[in-house]
Structure 1
């Protein structure tokens, strides 16, 4: 019984994520999710009282995905290669949880619990992670910036990540959002960092940018 319950719970979360990404969260109801899974609405409500609870669980996956992949290695200092990991994580998060970025203000407005936890995550956990990474890259000699730059660039990077897919939809209303859309977003982030890259690393940085050519 417990094994079946866990399996159904996880299936609901994973398949909901797929449907939200493909069709948008606002277009999908709990009845759509139940029908997609081949279960009764009552079975779904046994695990989740409403769609907002499913969205919240997906957000927890997103937060865990970010924090675990961007965790500072405890046994060593950051290296230039860690910037690649940082960007790959940003790209993978943008793509894997892309529905969250289609209409984030509306998503948060419809889900007060999510709104509170999202703001706490961005303004505390994520801010600390970004600040630590930037300071490590400065110490490495890859970047040159002061504390004010760190604050401003962190905000600008998050604005790009947060609204990139909405921008793509507005700029190309008839185009389908693809992985190439995410790569363009990561390249835009790299463009923000370029003025702060130290000369000895500029060639490697330029090559890194080319990795994200659409």
Structure 2
């Protein structure tokens, strides 16, 4: 079912305020006041702030899964990590607060945590599919099943921790997203084959990321 325009406005306003002011610091009244509507009107569409957060999480993961499914693994023999990292970079910039405040959010909102756990399983399955695809087509070194699982887990941990770290150092969401992507880029580097290194798109991605973060102090 298509989301109503008012419900979408509430989601978009919430994302903007959560990114600017912090999720835990933003109340439903703050969201309603920013939109020029009553809190009662907001509650017509969402039961509470946690309900809004769950909807935002679903929107984030829908965008991520949609981009991964678009790779068409069955018929695509290309090096896909560049496109994967670019999609992550775009989403991380839009939903900055999900990474900077993830720990606090899952501690404070139990239903969000349950939704996150369920979605993570689907995300891991898609990441596993991506890695197996890249191994089969010679872009990644051969890995045992348990090595793939640890690679996925460590990549997710790095993604969350690096996003939080760079948001402490810098107050520029787009740059922070690129720094987090660059961290993931170099983490994946040792797992790639010469065929991947020979792909010009990989070097172009590195050059673009380094250019965008040239003024960031490590």
Separation of aligned partners in 1, 2:20 and 2:83: 26
**Pairing partner for 1:32 from 30, 33, 46:** 30
Aligned to 1:206: 203
Per the alignment, residue 42 of structure 2 pairs with: 44
Paired residue total: 206
- Let me know the Cα RMSD of the aligned residues: 1.9
The runs of 5 or more residues in structure 2 that have no matched partner are 214-218
Q: Which residue of 1 aligns with 2:72?
A: 73
Provide the residue aligned with 1:87 in structure 2: 85
The two structures have a TM-score, normalised by structure 2, of 0.88
The offset of 1:127, in angstroms, is: 1.0
Q: Note if 1:179 corresponds to 2:174.
A: yes
Higher mean Cα deviation, 199-208 or 154-163?
Answer: 199-208
What is the CA–CA distance in structure 2 between the aligned matches of 1:14 and 1:126, rounded to whole Å?
A: 23
TM-score by length of 1: 0.89
**Aligned-pair distance for 1:93?**
1.5
Select the residue among 82, 106, 109 that pairs with 1:108. 106
**Runs ≥4 residues deviating over 2 A:** 203-208
Q: CA deviation at 1:75?
A: 5.8
Kindly indicate whether residue 122 of structure 2 is the aligned counterpart of residue 125 of structure 1.
Answer: yes
Aligned counterparts of 2:204 and 2:150: Cα–Cα separation in 1: 25
What residue in structure 1 maps to residue 61 of structure 2?
63
* Contact 1:56–1:114 (8 Å) recurs in 2: yes
Map of 2:163 onto structure 1 = 165
> Using the alignment, how far apart are the partners of 1:99 and 1:135 within structure 2?
31
What per-residue deviation string (whole Å, max 9, x for no partner) do you get for residues 18-55 of structure 1?
Answer: 11111110111111101110111111111112111111
Q: Distance in 2 between matches of 1:135 and 1:165?
A: 26
Separation in 2 of the partners of 1:18 and 1:87?
A: 23
* Counterpart-to-counterpart distance in 2, 1:200 and 1:79: 11
- SS of structure 1 residue aligned to 2:172: coil
Question: Which secondary structure state, in structure 1, belongs to the residue aligned with residue 75 of structure 2?
Answer: coil
Provide the C-alpha distance between the structure 2 equivalents of 1:169 and 1:189, rounded to a whole number of angstroms: 16
